[in-house]
């Protein structure tokens, strides 16, 4: 259980990175649009975009583990939160949302984003999707840099970390609600399985942010 508590962000990272190979765009009209196709694996492993952000994420994990070995005083939750924020910066904000949702240059995940929300079939900044693109740009310029900063503050055991972390957690809750709530309100689900699975995973950004914020407030007190 301690391993899962610390490393579930890594499992989520690997899950989104690797299971995208199973999504089959040709079966979008199917209830279960998944199949195994080696060509999708090859597309990722030969993509500079995939290799860059996957490599950055693995590098962040290695740096975190080496820092824990070199320094004392990291609790299991400290370690989990460090991985959570670093992987947000190197994968979830960037490799996923920015490269797959905004620029649509990430193989396999780009097709998955189209299944999750059909606005991604429109060109970037089209009036029908500019609302989502605005959130993506916000992630690129605000949330991703802050996530990297908070991860570094955890590694340095900085006293100011709880304040910066709490601010970012607030952005996460607001951003997640703003991104998903419009379609939920109007009852729009492009694919019943893919869309709702996406929403279930996205809720992690709310629950984790609330939990870590409560922890930070207690630490400050």
Nearest to 144 by CA among 177, 175, 117: 175
Q: What is the pLDDT of residue 77?
A: 98
Over the stretch 110-128, which tens digit does the pLDDT of each residue have?
999 999 999 999 999 999 9
Task: Label residue 154 by pLDDT band (50, 70, 90).
Answer: very high
Task: Label residue 1 by pLDDT band (50, 70, 90).
Answer: confident
- CA dist., res. 176 & res. 214, Å (int): 18
User: DSSP string of 140-207?
Assistant: IIIIHHHHHHHHHHHHHT-TTHHHHHHHHHHHHHHHHHHHHHHHHHHT--SSHHHHHHHHHHHTHHHH
- Which residue range is the domain that position 178 belongs to? 2-220
Q: What's the pTM value of the predicted model, to 2 decimals?
A: 0.97
Over the stretch 20-48, which tens digit does the pLDDT of each residue have?
999 999 998 899 999 999 999 999 999 99
Has residue 176 got a pLDDT over 90? yes
Q: Which residues pair with 23 in a beta bridge?
A: 34
Q: What is the pLDDT of residue 28?
A: 86
Region 68-77: mean pLDDT is 97
Question: Residue 215 corresponds to which tokens in the numbers above?
Answer: 């922890």
Q: What is the pLDDT of residue 175?
A: 98
- CA dist., res. 178 & res. 171, Å (int): 10
Task: Label residue 7 by pLDDT band (50, 70, 90).
Answer: very high
Domain count, the chain: 1
The answer to whether the beta carbons of residues 140 and 93 sit under 8 Å apart is yes
Provide the percentage of residues in the chain whose pLDDT is more than 70.
Answer: 100
**3-state SS assignment for residue 23:** strand
Question: Residue 185 corresponds to which tokens in the numbers above?
Answer: 């309100």
Over the stretch 78-115, which tens digit does the pLDDT of each residue have?
999 999 999 999 999 999 999 999 999 999 999 999 99
State the chain's mean pLDDT as an integer: 96
Question: Residue 91 corresponds to which tokens in the numbers above?
Answer: 């994968």
């Amino acid at each position: 259980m301690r391993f899962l508590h610390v490393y579930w962000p890594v499992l989520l990272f690997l899950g989104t990175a690797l299971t995208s190979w199973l999504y089959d765009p040709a079966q979008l009209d199917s209830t279960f649009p998944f199949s195994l196709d080696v060509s999708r694996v090859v597309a990722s492993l030969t993509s500079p975009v995939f290799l860059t952000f996957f490599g950055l994420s693995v590098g962040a994990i290695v740096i975190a583990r080496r820092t824990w070995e070199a320094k004392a005083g990291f609790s299991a939750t400290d370690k989990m939160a460090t991985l959570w924020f670093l992987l947000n910066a190197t994968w979830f904000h960037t490799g996923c949302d920015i490269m797959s949702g905004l620029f649509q240059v990430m193989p396999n995940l780009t097709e998955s984003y189209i299944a999750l929300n059909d606005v991604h079939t429109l060109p970037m900044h089209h009036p029908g999707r500019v609302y989502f693109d605005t959130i993506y740009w916000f992630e690129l310029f605000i949330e991703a840099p802050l996530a990297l900063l908070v991860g570094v503050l955890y590694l340095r055991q900085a006293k100011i970390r709880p304040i910066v972390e709490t601010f970012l957690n607030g952005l996460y809750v607001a951003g997640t609600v703003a991104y998903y709530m419009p379609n939920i309100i109007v009852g729009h689900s492009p694919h019943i399985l893919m869309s709702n699975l996406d929403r279930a995973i996205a809720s992690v950004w709310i629950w984790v942010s609330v939990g870590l914020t409560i922890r930070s407030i207690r630490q400050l007190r």
